[in-house]
Amino acid sequence: MDARIDPAAACGIALGDAHVIRNAGGDAQDALRSILISQHLLGTREIILVKHIGCGMLTFSNEDARAALRGNGGKVEDGFEFRPFSELRDALRRDVEFLEGHEGLARDVPVSGWVYDVGTGKVDRVV
């Protein structure tokens, strides 16, 4: 979701070569519907999950997000899950495990997890 990141440039992807699904925190569960459509209806043969250093999802709790939303006049249920995380690489590993274990995804499609450094432009494979 971070506007500082150009996925094509960061990963060397040419226009039209990939379906890029973006959301806050690079959250796999949040992106699942789009991933399933991409894979089963559009023929995607690989899933690359990318999170980035300095992600805003590292900076707040669910309670903080609910309070901010309400403070700005928004409404949200007490149990609404914004899915923040406290450790980037652990969150990436959990998301890759979630995708690898999901019954809806094809078993023969590789899933990998990467961390992008916004400052240097370097991308490192974690999972």
Mean pLDDT of 18-43: 95
Q: What pLDDT is stored for residue 126 in this prediction?
A: 95
Q: Is the pTM of this model over 0.75?
A: yes
| Structure confidence at residue 115 as a pLDDT band (50, 70, 90) | very high
Q: What pLDDT is stored for residue 93 in this prediction?
A: 98
pLDDT, tens only, 51-109:
999 999 999 999 999 999 999 999 999 999 999 999 999 999 999 999 999 999 998 99
Q: In angstroms, rounded to a whole number, what is the distance separating the alpha carbons of residues 70 and 12?
A: 40
